[in-house]
Amino acid sequence: MFMKLRRPQVKVLSGIQPSGELTLGNYFGMMERMISYQESNELLACIVNYHAMTSVSDGKTLKENTINATIDFLSLGLSPEKSLVWVQSDVPEIHEFSWYLSNFTPMGLLERCHSYKDKVGKGIAANHSLFAYPVLMASDILMYGAEKIPVGKDQKQHVEVTRDIAVKFNAAYGDI
């Protein structure tokens, strides 16, 4: 008799910005993949409304987009019974942790981030939250101990920034 061994579940984290109506590109680029991850992994799916504030400044619109993105994700098959699903602003500690991490983030590291330069080049107003976006993303990833972070090409550098911040943080405080 053979026993089927279960692989340990991998903690997968990703988020979607409620910065506008979700598109087929959102579905095929991220949502479909995330929904499939819940079948064999520990899935952490976040509606990253703090991140969306870099491009959406109207509070009413942001609230509506957040609700709609959550409804869309759930109606497409994201299951709260199989996954941890939350709205980023429901966890205010994420900003506190982001502050701690910012103390270990060299300015030069952020200045080299392509996403910031691209968005400013497209006319999005330069501000601190857009500049510090990678630190908030690092906070999202590290706070939940994510092991796999599926992202698009535009976010790959931010995952690398997360690694660099984590190394500096752990060098100061031990392997946390």
Percent of the chain topping pLDDT 90: 72
Residue 70, CA distances (Å) to 19, 56, 149, 159 in order: 12, 17, 19, 24
Residue 110 has pLDDT above 60, yes or no: yes
- Per-residue pLDDT tens for 27-82? 888 899 999 999 999 999 999 999 999 889 899 999 999 999 999 999 999 999 99
Among 168, 97, 172, which residue's Cα sits nearest to residue 136? 97
All residues at 6 or more sequence positions from 82 whose CB lies less than 8 Å from its CB, including other chains = 38, 39, 43
The SS3 call for residue 92 is: coil
Report residue 18's pLDDT band, with 50, 70 and 90 as the boundaries. Answer: very high
Contact 78, 85 (CB under 8 A): yes
Q: What pLDDT does 8 receive?
A: 61
Among 161, 108, 168, 171, which residue's Cα sits nearest to residue 133? 161
d(Cα 31, Cα 22) in Å, to the nearest integer?
Answer: 10
The SS3 call for residue 86 is: strand
Q: What pLDDT does 4 receive?
A: 54
Which residue's structure tokens are 């991998």? 10
Residue 119 has pLDDT above 90, yes or no: no
User: Helix-strand-coil percent breakdown of the chain, rounded to 5?
Assistant: 55, 10, 35
DSSP state of 19: S
User: Could you tell me the fold of the domain covering 11-171?
Assistant: Rossmann fold (3.40.50)
Mean pLDDT of the chain: 91
All residues at 6 or more sequence positions from 173 whose CB lies less than 8 Å from its CB, including other chains = none
Residue 15 has pLDDT above 60, yes or no: yes
Which residue's structure tokens are 């601190």? 128
Domain boundaries along the sequence of the chain: 11-171
